[in-house]
Every structure is written in structure tokens, then in C-alpha cells.
Structure 1
């Protein structure tokens, strides 16, 4: 989801939150600073906005259009089974509370008594008002488990059951593909993999920093072997995480820890291309702290991981990520066939993390493009995220992400 840098941005606003008597406007300014109905976008588009949207879809095959990273959220007010840690809803934990309120706002949750329904209704409306819908992979999120197989509610901020994800996808098969989340420390982890594979599900999501998973743990080899046997693919958060509480488990976002499943032949998609934070260089005797993105680059450069290691580009346009990683990925044309798109929705709706003015000043977009993109954001953050990624260009070479990044790659089918 988010990153440590995203959290630091929010900390900077915390004193405002404390002294503000009414926080709804503040949440909107930092969270979902959109005001237009998605259905009214077309009647309010400028000529530049129309041009950018048309260019974004011009060379896309709608039947292959895919978003690999879409979150389903809620409050558990329905039979969804969603669970939210009480610490995220208590002023006794001001940062976690503040962060959660902003995410709720960005997600379009207006009433906690109907939060599950609010979130899904908003997501469906955004998708229904896209020029071409494509498919969205919706993600489960398993609980934090200890290595002994016991649940750890203290370190579980958010639980999104696989059953809920699967049911939504079943109700809207033209829009959604379910991606399950199975913590390998679960005592029934292998059984869960087999069960969900029989349901036709092939993709698994991990957030190791939040779920308490060290991907390099030798005890996980049976899990990886089962994944390979079943032809399942792992989408895994790499780099720092700031949307949920991680504490001492932040180190599990180290890309190098994923050498074990890769070396066993498991296909791995690294979310965000490890574009934020630092970790120990476990390949070096010194084990100095270096950029997670540099570790990702090293692994992408290793020929043995061709056809196994992929990068997912959600978050690359965020203020805390674009300076360095975005330039590199735009320029590395030899990697483009190994990149896939994800929105990480609702993050594109967070007004605090995507600063189009900074992208314009850095040369990724022009001033006219910035104004058009800002207009699109006001009505549809998902469309905004897609059009922005199709618009950004390398400040020096002009290289862009090709259409293949936004379509389902045959190698992952």
C-alpha cells in the first residue's frame, strides 16, 4: 500500500489536526480532494483533457487492459468479515487514527455504518465511468501470524477476507479478478492454496511488513513448492510500508529476501518496484543500508530472473517515489516487457501523495498537461492515475511507458 515517506508527510500535518475544531475539511484536503461526480466528467472536459485521455487509450487493447493492484476496504459493518484494529479508530493512537481517517475520506467512505457498501459503490461508479473498463485485480489481505501459526491481532491492522473478495468478483466478473492473501505461517496455508486454486484463483498478495513474513525463511519452501506446482503467482509489497503499522517487521520489505522463491522458480511481481526506503544489502559482507530500489534494480539485471521477476508500477508518480525510480523505469526499455500496471487504489485519491506540480517542475509533464490531469482527478482518481502514467515522460529522453505495461502479459497467464 503506502510507504514510510507517506507516513512522514502525514506527520507534518498532525499538529493541524490537533488544533482544528472541525476536521472534515482537513481530511478532504489531505485525503480525497475530489468534488465532481464521475458521471459528469465528460461534460466538463477541456480539449487538453480529452486529448490526454484519447492518447492514453489509443494503443490499448481493451480486452487485455488490467490493473494488478486494487484494494477492497471497509469497516466490517456487513457480513464481509472485514476487521479493523481498534487502535486505528482510537484517538489514543493519534497518528494511526489520523491516517485511517484520511484513507476513509479518500476511499469515499461517508458513513461508518455503511462503510463496506460505501467503498464498493464508489469503486464501481469510478470503474463504470471509465472510457474502457478493463479488469481490476481486487486484493485480500490476511492477518499477521506468528511463525508458530498463531494469529497476532496486535500487529494486524486490517483484515480483508478472501471469501469477501471472491464474492465481489463473482458478482462482477466483467470488472474484477480476485487475488487472495494467504499468510504462509497459517497452519492451514497449503490447504488454503489448494482450495483457492480449485476456485480458479492464481494470484496471491503478500504485504510481508504487515503480515510478519520473512520471504527468505527456509520453512516457507513447502509453500513455494505448492505455489509452483499450482502455477500460482505472488504479488508482494517490497520497500517501506506506511499505510499500516509495521514496527520491527519493516525489514521484511527487503527485495533480496525474495531470492528464495525466485530461485525455486516461483513467479514474483514486486509491487511499487521497491521504490521507497532502504534496507540492508544482504548480498554484501558489510550489509550496509542502501536503497530498496537499487536492490530491485540489481535483481532485475540478473539474467536468471528473466521470466520470473516482474515489477508493478503503482505509486511511481507519488511525491516520495518519483525522483529516481520513475526516471530509471521510463528509460529502461529492456525491462518494459516485465512491468505491469497497478493503481493501488485508493492511494491515487490521496491528495497528499501525488503532486502534479512537482511532476511538472521535474519535467515529467507540461503545465497544460498538469491542469488537464488535475481536472480528471477531481472527477475520477482511477482514470487520473491511468492517464498520468500514460502521459509521464523521461525529462531528458522523452521515453514513456509503452502500452504493454497496461495490458495483461501473456507470460503471466
Structure 2
């Protein structure tokens, strides 16, 4: 609720200063660096890469969004440009656009694409990014509803981006399982080089525990294609019914079908019904940990730890993921770009106050933040530490290199 009050206040301020870029620049960063990195920052980057093989490093959670310019087929809901009718949505997408380097809507898709590629090509940013498509909302009959969708990024767009930039980009497809052609589309994108499938059930109207998904799950398992799916609360949607689709326990159906599942953000927001004890509820993070403890899902169930450094997730979820060393081999790195470029979400002051980083580390991380949000996100996660009873807990180097065979063909 506090976050919503903050966003409302910010939206009122933004509506009053709509033409001023200064306000957005305080909330998100998109400008290229104005000076080289200091020796201290370069040393921190080098230290972060110790033990991480750039040839195996993959950022498994990178979004690309567009308005459909350049014939990309991308779509963003018109309500995102309606500050009076939808002030919070308008502010949110204004921040996203600014963070992604979009300054001219007529060239939005090209500017987003070029900004992302420039970050990936930077000398300090080695490795590759799994860039994710995003399917539209579909109803129970499998019909698309763009008017209900936040945005849509076609599979062919990310497939071409990967084809044109193989040294930096891997393609992640997105297919709604209720589509009549869902299995056919899965076979098609797999043949064209897609490495994974991305879902956000709460925002796409997908029930992961529904029998309607069974044929899709069988084909995913057959193709050895992992499912990267959001779990937990999604703040882009409202209503209990939509949020219930993010219950981590629904993913048992995919896991029982032999699908490798990566739970985005480790289900680190909100509460869900304890489906094992009807009527009871627990945090989604606790439900996720229960899944991870089930022996039959070892080798199938993973979690990306994208977004866990955000101010609303960096309490118990981040601390437990750092300290639960038995989970470390099942963690997958993701940045959730462009979110690392939004000041309001990742606050190094909060991370210092909670003891994850020192004051000196914060100062250098802030310098990296001003240069490249992808480098910042990676180095921050390699720097985070919990010190307790004489022991130091960190994310291991292995968490930044996907387990062999997790991503199709990687």
C-alpha cells in the first residue's frame, strides 16, 4: 500500500511537469556515461568476474518492448500514454521508456534495441542475454485480447534479434498455452533457435495448474525447452483471481510432466493460498521454498534471482537466497532489464542499511550504476554478502552460468 501511495504521489507530480525530463531522470537512468570508469570501479568489475566464464554467462531475464515502429509487430497498450485516465500506468511506462533510452516515440523500437545492444557490447559486460518475447492475454477459448494486455513482443522479433546478434543475444519465446496453435508455435520457434519460453500467468491469464496446459507441457518436455515463469504477486495487475494464477504450487503440474521450470524472482512477493492446506495462506516465497524442498523436483525446478535486490524484495527473500547454500546450484541469474535502471526500485542506500554492502562498495556501485545498469546489476549481485556467526554468504559464481542443458541448445 505504501508503494501505491508513493506511485500516486509521483504520478501527480509527473502530470504537473509532463514536459520536463528532469523528473524522469531522477527516477530512471538512460544517459550514456560522461566519463570512463575509475580504477576502483574497474577493479570491482574484474573481481566480480572471478570464477565466471564469460562464454557461459547468461542473463536469463531481459525484456524488450516496442510500440510497433520499424514494423516490429510490438504493441503497448494505449492506456500507458493516458496520464489523466491512467496516471499510475502512465508513470510506470514513462519510467520504463526513460530507463530503456527511448526519447522519441516515433523511433521507440530502434532506440530501445540500440540501447540494449550498446549495454551488452560494453567492455565490462561480458556474456549474453536471453531476450524475452511476451505474448498477449488470451481468454479461455484461446482468443487474443490486446486491449487487456500490458504489452506484446512477438517471437519473430526476438528471434531476429538473436539471429542478427548471436554473440550477445539468445531468444526467449512466449506462447500462451490456450492458443489453438500453441504446440505448433512451440515447435516452430524451437526450430528457429528459441532457448526458453516465458510466461507471466497473472498478466496473461494462464492457469499453470490447468489441464489445458498439458499438451503444451508435453511438448516442452519433449523439446527440452525450459519454462521461465513469473510466480508470486505481479504488480501490473489487480484482483485476487489474477494474483492467484501466480501461486507457485500451481507449477507442480508442469514439473510432474517433466518440464524444467525456472521461477522468476523466486516468487518473492505477495501471499498465496496454501493449496496443500485449503483455506490457509503463506507468503509465495515460502510456498516456493516448499517446492524446492520436494525431492522429485530436483533437476527440474530452478529460480532466477532477478529483482531480489529491489527495495520491496530485499528483506527475507534476498537474505535467505544468499544464506541457503543448498539452493545455490539451482539459482539462475537474471537482471529483469530495464528495471535495474530505475532508481525508485533498486536503492543502494537500503542495501547498505541492511548490511548487504559496505559504504565504500555502495559508492563504487553507484558509479557503475551511472555507466551501465546491466554491469551494475551483475556486480551488485556478486558483491552482496551476509555475514553471520563468523561466516560470509554470497551468491556463487556458478549462479551466473546456467546449468548445462537448462537452456535449449546452450
Which bracket does the TM-score occupy, shorter chain normalised? Answer: over 0.9
Any conservation in 1 of the 2:134–2:154 contact (CA below 8 Å)? yes
CA distance in 1, matches of 2:280, 2:316: 22
2:221 to 206, 224, 228: 228
Match in the other structure for 1:352: 344
Residues 21, 303 of structure 1: alpha-carbon distance in 2 compared, 3 angstrom cutoff = closer
Match in the other structure for 2:24: 27
Any conservation in 2 of the 1:69–1:314 contact (CA below 8 Å)? yes
TM-score, normalized by length of structure 2?
A: 0.94
1:189 to 166, 182, 194: 182
Match in the other structure for 1:401: 395
SS of 1:78's equivalent?
A: helix
CA distance in 1, matches of 2:372, 2:162: 21
CA offsets, 1:262-320, max 9 Å, x none? Answer: 111111000100111111111113232x2111111111111111001001010011100
Give the deviation of 1:198 after TM superposition. Answer: 1.7
Any conservation in 2 of the 1:316–1:325 contact (CA below 8 Å)? yes
Give the deviation of 1:26 after TM superposition. Answer: 1.3
Match in the other structure for 1:61: 53
CA offsets, 1:320-362, max 9 Å, x none? Answer: 0010011101111111110010011000001100000010011
Match in the other structure for 1:284: 277
Counterparts of 1:12-411 in structure 2, within 5 Å, are 12-20=9-17, 22-32=19-29, 35-37=31-33, 43-47=36-40, 49-91=41-83, 92-242=85-235, 244-247=236-239, 248-288=241-281, 290-396=282-388, 397-411=391-405
Any conservation in 2 of the 1:144–1:156 contact (CA below 8 Å)? yes
Q: Could you say what the CA RMSD is over the residues aligned between the two structures, in angstroms?
A: 1.7
Equivalences, count: 403
CA distance in 1, matches of 2:171, 2:265: 20
Give the deviation of 1:66 after TM superposition. Answer: 0.8
Residues 127, 194 of structure 1: alpha-carbon distance in 2 compared, 3 angstrom cutoff = same
TM-score, normalized by length of structure 1?
A: 0.94
Any conservation in 1 of the 2:125–2:375 contact (CA below 8 Å)? no
SS of 1:314's equivalent?
A: coil
CA offsets, 1:170-199, max 9 Å, x none? Answer: 100111110100000111111111111222
CA offsets, 1:26-48, max 9 Å, x none? Answer: 1111122x5443xx65x33142x
CA distance in 2, matches of 1:410, 1:353: 32
Give the deviation of 1:14 after TM superposition. Answer: 2.3
SS of 1:144's equivalent?
A: coil
Runs of 4+ in 1 over 4 A off after TM superposition: 4-9
Structure 1 unaligned regions, length at least 5: none
Structure 2 unaligned regions, length at least 5: none
Residues 125, 21 of structure 1: alpha-carbon distance in 2 compared, 3 angstrom cutoff = closer
CA distance in 1, matches of 2:2, 2:134: 22
SS of 1:219's equivalent?
A: helix
Any conservation in 2 of the 1:9–1:352 contact (CA below 8 Å)? no
Give the deviation of 1:250 after TM superposition. Answer: 2.1
| Higher relative contact order (Cα pairs below 8 Å, separated by 6+ residues) | 1
Any conservation in 2 of the 1:157–1:245 contact (CA below 8 Å)? no
Any conservation in 1 of the 2:271–2:284 contact (CA below 8 Å)? yes
SS of 2:366's equivalent?
A: helix
Any conservation in 2 of the 1:233–1:266 contact (CA below 8 Å)? yes
